[in-house]
Structure 1
């Protein structure tokens, strides 16, 4: 399950001077809320996270990367299987024969419907 994080604009804020001068208070605030936005000239410069939140985020990133790797491995396997078919010795003749038909059907009419 993906960790829900508040929007950066909704985080409690501390300016850089407060972080420097009142570190204990900042730590208490981080422990209470999970994260605090550190500002410099009223602009958020960084976000301070508690260790549990950081650990959850790194685990989720590893999980997502693993899932992406599995999807890419499956796609690569399917590509290799299709490429292997195209590398068969008689494929060129089959493709040329297909193009020579120019979309025309052979002598048999297509069968469709319940009666066929």
Structure 2
């Protein structure tokens, strides 16, 4: 499964646009992480517990996006973006979304643009 944030895929042509696809996850930070992060926030600097949690959440959201796109019959997703929001005081929603498409490898080589 090819995943890109661009509206096109160099070297491939889009043969079919299937439509909107997404992967969603809602995570709780947990009491232990909240206490540790709270203590760390007093000192200042990066809160590694939250950085790790968000990185894991992004990976899981992307995995779910891939599963959903595959179930729709896609072999690529273009225009992929993330969105997040807080739910209450201890939960974060993370959404990965894009456009599910079917692509084929281009047979012809791209010609460079020349300015004369």
Task: Pick the TM interval, shorter chain.
Answer: under 0.3
- TM normalised by structure 2 equals 0.27
Give the greater-gyration-radius structure (CA): 1
Name the one with the larger strand percent: 2
- TM normalised by structure 1 equals 0.27
- More contact order relative to length (CA 8 Å, sep ≥ 6): 2
